[in-house]
Amino acid sequence: MSDFFELPVIPFRGEVAIVTPSSPFNRQHFNAGITQLKLNKMKPVIPRDAFLKKGYLAGSDEERAYLLIEAILTDSFSAVWAARGGYGAIRLLPLLEKRIDDLKKHPKFIIGFSDITILHSFFVEKCGFVTVHGPNITTLSTCDNYSKKQVFQLLQGEERALTIYNPRLQVAVHGKAEGVVKGGNLASIISLIGTPYQPDFSDSILFLEEVGEVPYKVDRMLTQMRLAGMFDKVKGVVLGEFSYQEYRPPATKSVHIRQIMDNMALPSSVPVVYNFAAGHGKKNMAFLLGAEATLDTEKRSLSYL
């Protein structure tokens, strides 16, 4: 099993560094998320440079990388929480790699989703961290109450948060699998293919989610991953939200699970579940990346115990 249990969890009144590795954010949503941290007895530390803007980025690459690196290297911070996703994290990877020897010595929970998938992948693959796929600061106030409660339970080390059970989870292929949980946002993962930062999903339980991409674009991305051999040794698959919008009702639709599975071309022995409550919707349960877990389709659960 992974040694993530040895990583520090946030103390009941732990300091949390807020970072902006991607796009600028809505101040109202940001403030509402910070309030959620305070209500849960956490102490957010917000650097002045978190409010920088440079076009569609939250500051220059150097400024955003500096905030992230300093947050990780500062021992008083128990975790590093992303303000928002959007775009931009991939531009930081060469700057992070220059400090990789220092970063490896300071394992911390990196928290966020969407574009933060890029950072999850880097710190899991390159540094051996265990990270937290969960709400960004700007989505904390809008996700459902269960997701809000669950992310804080996970960060505070409560055992019940280490088993994610969802009775509405649907099973496409039954089975049981053990592996290191990896993955995140599909488009973000695609952007890493062919770079020095392309993740290795061998022996993993692979989680994928996407929003706002119509079926043929999801088809294209999954086909690219398949042709790159990224599904060849996957042990299990967990699919989150795959929704997109059309103008005619019903406007909100989902990419069909059969289309996704056909494009992945997985062996029949690989268990697959879908409708996992994580992604860009109101239900966004937090779970660990880089740690070993068991996917059990009979129990409809992903368990780190």
Choice among 29, 120, 133, 280 that is catalytic: 280
Q: Is 29 a catalytic residue?
A: no
Residue with tokens 């059309």: 246
Choice among 78, 114, 121, 301 that is catalytic: 114
Question: Which one-letter amino acid corresponds to residue 251?
Answer: A
Q: Is 256 a catalytic residue?
A: no
Token pair of 184, please? 């995140």
| 250 preceded by a cis bond (ω within 30 of 0) | yes
Q: What is the 3-state secondary structure (H, E, C) of the chain?
A: CCCHHHCCCCCCCCEEEEECCCCCCCHHHHHHHHHHHHHCCCEEECCHHHHCCECCECCCHHHHHHHHHHHHHCCCEEEEEECCCCCCHHHHHHHHHHCHHHHHCCCCEEEECHHHHHHHHHHHHHHCCCEEECCCHHHCCCCCHHHHHHHHHHHCCCHHHHEEECCCCEEEECCEEEEEEEEEEHHHHHCCCCCCCCCCCCCEEEEEEEECCCHHHHHHHHHHHHHCCCCCCCCEEEEEEEEEECCCCCCEEECCHHHHHHHHCCCCCCCEEECCCCCCCCCCCCEEECCEEEEECCCCEEECC
Choice among 209, 210, 241, 292 that is catalytic: 209
Check if the beta carbon of residue 167 is closer than 8 Å to that of residue 146: no
Q: Is 114 a catalytic residue?
A: yes
Tell me, rounded to whole angstroms, the distance of Cα 296 from its chain centroid. 21
Picking from 83, 132, 85, 124, the residue whose alpha carbon sits closest to that of residue 103 is 124
Catalytic positions, please? 114, 209, 280
